[in-house]
Amino acid sequence: MKLPLNVLLLPIACLLSGLTSVAHELTPTEKASIALPVNYEGLPGEGPIRGEHEWFQNVWNTRRSSWFHRAEQDRGAVVFFGDSITQGWQNMPNEFPGLKVANRGISGDTTRGMLIRLDEDVLALNPAAVVMLMGTNDLADDATTEQIAGNVKLMLDAFKAHNSEMPVILCRVFPSSPEKDRTPEDIQEINDQLAAIAKGDERITVLDTWTLFANEEGNAKVEEFPDLLHPNGIGQAKWGAALRPVFSTLGLMETAPDTFMPEEGFVPLFSGRNLNGWGFKVTPPRKPNKNGIIFSSFAEPQNFYGKSESSDGRYVAINDRLVVTTPTEGRRIQQLWTTRDFPNDFVLKFEFRATPNADSGVFLRGKQLQVRDYPLAGPYTDLEHYKQGDWNKIEVDVKGNLAYCTCNGEVLEEAFEIPDTGAIGLEGDRGQIEYRRIRIKEL
């Protein structure tokens, strides 16, 4: 039997993980309950299932058989649900120290196949959260965008019916290549549909894993995707770094207190436990701009003294981090300000961590310094020491009307002009940004 190219190119470890022996022999009834259907009539969803391929039947049945007696062991895990890209992530547990994970990827699977196995492979585990990546195989089998989006919506509806509070991290479909019958235009059309489905749903965090991996042409990079479809160790590590901040915001990782103490002469602007000293200013209503960006508006000033989150939930104090959460609309401009001004010279220090392509900013007396996932969102794209998906240090030295700004010691702005006085503010636009260790020394 000749296997398809996408299977032949999978890492050997990935294939072995799909062909592991079963701990206990299944009964005929149990085997029937997890077997790949041969008759599609009456099955949920639309589009291809790939049941006509013997290789896929073997992978499906063997993988699902190996999970059958693991349900209790994997209960309460963060479930990674997908196809060969998920199945092949053998180093997954090491990427998330202390986090219980369950890999439920099946090589070659489609969104309809995932929908069919949803109950036994995911819901039966009562997951702490679900990470979804799917759709690339549907493209290879000529499924329509509407079919793919429809299947994903049915899965999301099933998650909500099972547990309306369960978080879902929806990863945008990774880039591939026209050589693999997966053009950037087709993949982005799917991603747009997925974002539209998730819009307004507070359970769902859309993670921009397409921009994370795409080259200038919108295709996969061979140094991260050697076969232009499956990420290697480098690509998997980048995926892990993109997910960790989201897991932390969900309270699944990094829950230990931060033991950092400010340097002599510095005082915290953020306690780590609440939003004391921060609030919203009065902002007039504005229509969405030409890019569809929404601007938050407030008729009255708001002071968040004693509160752990802003009135709209966009800014939250979580485990010593001030988190600017991912907006459910996709993009929304929202600003948080200190309740006092800073007319004197000062040194401001803080650390930030961004999800892929996230966009934020820090206002210095009202003038915004861009704080973003710089390599993807700019404007400082050539930084050599920026750590994607990790913490980066910003230092701002203000003398008069000029600010000298650095990131991990590299210059962002040598003479950034700012007003004579004003508050310090944070802005959220798209993606998630975390701030910590925000401190100031007034001179």
The residue extents of the domains of the chain are 5-249, 267-442
SS3 192: helix
- CA-based nearest residue to 102, from 57, 70, 60, 61: 70
Looking at residue 147, its pLDDT comes to 97
Looking at residue 24, its pLDDT comes to 64
| Residue 28 to residue 360: CA distance in whole angstroms | 56
Looking at residue 203, its pLDDT comes to 96
Which neighbouring-strand residues pair with 441? 347
End-to-end distance of the chain based on CA atoms, in angstroms? Answer: 75
Looking at residue 179, its pLDDT comes to 96
Residue 370 to residues 154, 194, 350, 413, Cα–Cα distance (Å): 39, 28, 14, 10
Angle between helices 145-162 and 184-198 (to 10 degrees): 30
Sequence-distant contacts of 89-93: CB under 8 A, at least 24 apart = 89/236, 89/239, 90/11, 90/13, 90/14, 90/17, 91/233, 91/236, 91/237, 92/236, 92/240
pLDDT tens by residue, 192-210: 999 999 999 999 999 999 9
Amino acid identity of residue 329, one-letter, is E
Q: Report percent pLDDT > 90 for the chain.
A: 88
The dihedral through the CA atoms of 87, 89, 94, 99 has a sign that is negative
| Residue 439 to residue 396: CA distance in whole angstroms | 11
pTM here is 0.93
Domain covering 267-442 in this structure, CATH number: 2.60.120.560
**For every residue of 219-251, which 3-state class applies, written as one string?**
CCCCCCCCCCCCCCHHHHHHHHHHHHHHHHHCC
The superfamily (CATH) of domain 5-249 is SGNH hydrolase (3.40.50.1110)
The dihedral through the CA atoms of 162, 164, 166, 168 has a sign that is positive
| Residue 153 to residue 198: CA distance in whole angstroms | 9
Q: How many CB atoms lie within 10 A of CB 126?
A: 15
Residues 315/400, Cβ–Cβ less than 8 Å: no
Helix (H) or strand (E) holding 428: strand 424-430
Tens digit of each residue's pLDDT, the chain (443 residues): 333 444 444 443 344 444 443 446 888 888 888 889 888 888 999 999 998 889 999 999 999 999 988 999 999 999 999 999 999 999 999 999 999 999 999 999 999 999 999 999 999 999 999 999 999 999 999 999 999 999 999 999 999 999 999 999 999 999 999 999 999 999 999 999 999 999 999 999 999 999 999 999 999 999 999 999 999 999 999 999 999 999 999 999 999 999 999 999 999 999 999 999 999 999 999 999 888 899 999 999 999 999 999 999 999 999 999 999 999 999 999 999 999 999 999 999 999 999 999 999 999 999 999 999 999 999 999 999 999 999 999 999 999 999 999 999 999 999 999 999 999 999 999 999 999 999 999 99
Which neighbouring-strand residues pair with 334? 428
Looking at residue 3, its pLDDT comes to 38
Residue 412 to residues 220, 227, 379, 380, 385, Cα–Cα distance (Å): 29, 37, 9, 7, 12
Looking at residue 290, its pLDDT comes to 84
Q: How many CB atoms lie within 10 A of CB 220?
A: 27
